[in-house]
Amino acid sequence: MANALAARNIEMEFGSNGTRTRVLHGVDLEIEFGKLTMLIGPSGCGKTTLLSIVSGTLRPTAGDVDVMEARITAMRDGEKVKFRRSRIGFIFQQYNLLPALTASENAATPLVAGGFPLKDAVKRARITLEGLGMGPHTEKLPRQLSGGQQQRVAIARALIHQPALIVCDEPTAALDADSGRQVMELLKDASADPSRAVLVVTHDNRIFKYADRIVAMEDGRIVGDTAHNTLPEDIHVH
């Protein structure tokens, strides 16, 4: 079976002519199905930029990205939107839930964006939320939920349309240890599906233990990978 994601020779520059900054230097990355892969590294090393590119929300300066064998770097914006809507789930550091919507309505948004009637989408969202232990909270607004509960709503939103790739940006950065653990266990469960891959960007070393594979970045380059036994020694994986 092909990889869930394959990025080749990704380069990314920001700024205009006089002040161009290169943040990614020919990065190659492959992510396999059925695994939780962590992308780690210090702040500013380019891991979030790489995550944005492989999830189709940012166009690289050079290089190709294939997700589920579809070349998203060759897609037009409209095609990428539809692709993201059907094949990719997103989990953000700050949850990015819509404050006016209930937990179930927030979780339902990818389906609604895909044309599902809100009522039907919310029904399905409730089932997904119950599966994540959020049954008593489906009709609460984000402000009525703790950080961990909000992140679980975000996970439900990422899972509801059964995407093949879930990308997570620092999913535990705003959570306490216990909530972080619960969130990571849910993501670990999600990654156990052999038709799905989970890519987590983090620098929270408390959660490294949930990774099936860790890829380390520094200065816009991949500098280590547990899959190749090249992880630097100063990164402590429990």
Amino acid letter at 222?
Answer: I
Rounded to 5 degrees, what are φ and ψ at 18?
A: -75, -25
Quote the least distance from Cβ 233 to other proteins, whole Å. 29
Looking at 25, 30, 63, 81, which residue binds other proteins (CB under 8 A)? 81
Residues 6+ apart with CB under 8 A from 137: 103, 129, 144, 145, 149, 153
Strand, coil or helix: 24: strand
Minimum distance from residue 78 beta carbon to other proteins (Å): 7
Residue from 5, 37, 75, 93 touching other proteins (CB under 8 A): that is: 93
Among 8, 30, 70, 113, binds other proteins (CB under 8 A): 113
Q: Which of 3, 96 has the CB closer to other proteins?
A: 96
137 binds other proteins (CB under 8 A): no
Q: Is 94 in the site for other proteins (CB under 8 A)?
A: yes
Total site size for other proteins, rule CB under 8 A: 31
Give the interface segment with other proteins, choosing from 24-32, 64-72, 91-99, 210-218 (CB under 8 A). Answer: 91-99
Q: Which CB, 201 or 211, lies closer to other proteins?
A: 201
User: Binding to other proteins (CB under 8 A): which residues in 196-235?
Assistant: none
Contacts (CB under 8 A) with other proteins, residues 11-40 = none
- When the beta carbons of 33 and 90 are compared against other proteins, the nearer one is 90
Residue closer to other proteins by CB (options 93, 149) is 93
- By CB under 8 A, tell whether 112 contacts other proteins: yes
The beta strand positions in 57-196, using DSSP E, are 62-67, 70-71, 88-91, 165-169
In three-state secondary structure terms, 6 is strand
Rg of the chain over all Cα atoms, to the nearest angstrom: 18
Per-residue interface string for the shown chain with other proteins, residues 39-58, x marking contact by CB under 8 A:
---------x--xx--x-xx
Q: Are the CB atoms for 100 and 141 separated by under 8 Å?
A: yes
Phi, psi of 129 (to 5 degrees): -65, -40
Residues 39, 215: contact at Cβ < 8 Å? yes
Contacts of 198 (CB under 8 A, 6+ apart): 35, 36, 37, 165, 166, 168, 187, 190, 191
CB atoms inside a 10 Å sphere around CB 30: 16
- Closest CB to other proteins among residues 42, 114: 114
**Which residues of the shown chain bind other proteins in the complex (CB under 8 A)?**
48, 51-52, 55, 57-58, 78, 81-82, 84-86, 90, 92-94, 96, 98-101, 105, 109-110, 112-114, 118, 141, 157, 169
